[in-house]
Chain A
């Protein structure tokens, strides 16, 4: 046998003083498939390089071949922890393109759903920050209320996670009594649970020492990196799309925008906690407004737009116009105006934007999703420079990185 080396070491690797650690893509601490290659000097991170694209599913290309009502299922799978927000954002984009006006009740129903989704997303993020710092109890305890939120989705649209909820012009059916009962149960029981969850973490010394000072970012750097959402608000900038570019009647609601100061993990945790309280506030106001509606106004759940909203099936089988509308909508023969529209919504992670260019055909000419996770993950190497490896894990989970939104 020749004295050949069986293991080929890269050039200069014997002399190297740092360790290369490959975090992911399959790793229990990375919540989703994305990779981090960190150079470690002992336990300190010298540099980090991110690789994404493990769950890239070519949504933007697929969308060019799908009629508008079929793209909702693609948007589900962006930030899958809060898919109703993505769905509603897409519906709003198409409604803006078409110039549809929606009744207030539809807007308020959408607000309830979007805020429930935001609560679900923030619950997942905050409890997972707890898990990553070693505290599993919070995660399992709030799971019960995440389940209740999923059951509410199930009553409304049939699915729990990737909801495909609503239609262009409203909802596919009115909220059932079971949905309202579950919502009322949630509104009654959840605040106490959130209080207990807060008690577990907010003034917990171990948690505070793990998260305070981990991965801070200044407001200027955050803005330059394109941060939006809770991560930007933790850095001190009170930019919230619901206030700056209100959609779906958010201007009718009264709520506060929590803002942090240093942008570290603790601030992000606190901002998300407080946003959950504010979301509860919005849900209660929307619920009150809907209960106060009387008569015909209280039964409406979609816009009066027969060219874009499918007629009820009984009418399709009995009435000629309904049959024709049904055919035209499904086959994509309806009039879609050419134009380009950009509509941002406040997703769980920040400004989720939909840039839609229509050429008058039944599919978009170009659809681009402005995905907040993708944009702020770039800053990860700057956030973790010089930090310990365990801080890097906490930073990763407190940024609420959802792989589906990162790659699309």
Chain B
């Protein structure tokens, strides 16, 4: 295995020496040094990590986002995974932004790999990468007008009218038996107004927590 003269401690010291109090939340979950920077500084930090001759984080492994609807003003986290291939150390940088104005400076000038990764992040979360050469949807259809991986959008399409949500544990059960003569199968299959919302609207927002069982 390639030598590891650089350590998480040294990286943390160098970062704090350069940027001081602006960097925060230094942790090492499962051995990977993770920290947070203010969103205006993301390029400064990335550039410092790239240029510095001791740190040499010159490989962008991954760029993605996470949505935390509970944290007001810091709902979207853009996560950069960096890798120093020479000393074999990885790093995770998180940049938080609010969901009302999710503008983050693009990293495409520094890493060409960030081009499509940022497009995917925009497509899924709506993070606006300022300065991106071609920020449009990449995996979903261009006409889509919502950002699907945000927690308020449920997994299934709310405009479906052939599935009774109540039978799947969501929504209200219909009125008890005896409410009228049984429908013939033909009638039952006619389109009828769905339990929630009207067809044609975008997906209904839903409490994202409904289907997750937390272990106490």
The interface of chain A, by Cβ under 8 A from chain B, is 52-53, 56, 58, 60-62, 64-65, 96-97, 221, 223-226, 237, 239, 243-246, 251, 332-336, 339-342, 344, 351, 353, 355, 357, 359-363, 365-366, 368, 370, 374-375, 377-379, 407
B142 to chain A, nearest CB (A): 10
> In the docked arrangement, what's the CA distance between A290 and B23, Å?
49
B213 interface residue (CB < 8 Å to A): yes
Chain A: CB-nearest residue to B88: A244
B116 interface residue (CB < 8 Å to A): yes
> In the docked arrangement, what's the CA distance between A372 and B216, Å?
37
Q: Is the CB of A362 within 8 A of B215?
A: yes
A60/B149 contact (C-beta < 8 A), A224-B113, A362-B212, A366-B66 known = yes
Give every chain B residue within 8 A of A407 (Cβ-Cβ): 139
Chain A: CB-nearest residue to B2: A244
Chain A: CB-nearest residue to B120: A374
Q: Is the CB of B112 within 8 A of A244?
A: no
- What are 6 A-B pairs with beta-carbon distances under 8 A? A226-B59, A334-B215, A342-B81, A355-B62, A355-B81, A378-B116
> In the docked arrangement, what's the CA distance between A246 and B1, Å?
8
A71 to chain B, nearest CB (A): 14
A-B interface pairs (CB < 8 A), number:
111
> In the docked arrangement, what's the CA distance between A96 and B30, Å?
8
A333/B215 contact (C-beta < 8 A), A64-B155, A225-B112 known = yes
> In the docked arrangement, what's the CA distance between A340 and B112, Å?
26
B43 interface residue (CB < 8 Å to A): no
The interface of chain B, by Cβ under 8 A from chain A, is 1-2, 29-30, 32, 34, 58-62, 64, 66-67, 79, 81, 85, 88, 90, 92, 111-113, 115-117, 120, 124, 137-141, 148-149, 155, 211-215
> In the docked arrangement, what's the CA distance between A377 and B120, Å?
13
Q: Is the CB of B111 within 8 A of A226?
A: yes
> In the docked arrangement, what's the CA distance between A375 and B1, Å?
25
> In the docked arrangement, what's the CA distance between A368 and B61, Å?
12
Choose among B111, B212, B214 the residue with the greatest number of A CB atoms under 10 Å from its CB. Answer: B212
B150 to chain A, nearest CB (A): 10
> In the docked arrangement, what's the CA distance between A341 and B24, Å?
19
Q: Is the CB of B117 within 8 A of A355?
A: no
> In the docked arrangement, what's the CA distance between A56 and B116, Å?
15
Chain B: CB-nearest residue to A378: B116
B176 to chain A, nearest CB (A): 29
Q: Is the CB of B140 within 8 A of A368?
A: no
B87 to chain A, nearest CB (A): 10
A226/B61 contact (C-beta < 8 A), A336-B215, A353-B81, A374-B116 known = yes
Chain A: CB-nearest residue to B117: A375
> In the docked arrangement, what's the CA distance between A133 and B140, Å?
33
Q: Is the CB of A53 within 8 A of B139?
A: yes
> In the docked arrangement, what's the CA distance between A96 and B29, Å?
11
Q: A251-B1, A334-B215 are in contact. List 14 more A-B contacts (CB 8 A).
A: A56-B140, A61-B155, A65-B155, A223-B59, A225-B112, A226-B111, A226-B112, A226-B113, A244-B85, A244-B88, A333-B215, A341-B29, A360-B214, A366-B66
Give every chain B residue within 8 A of A56 (Cβ-Cβ): 139-140
Q: Is the CB of A378 within 8 A of B113?
A: yes
Q: Is the CB of A378 within 8 A of B29?
A: no
Give every chain B residue within 8 A of A333 (Cβ-Cβ): 213, 215
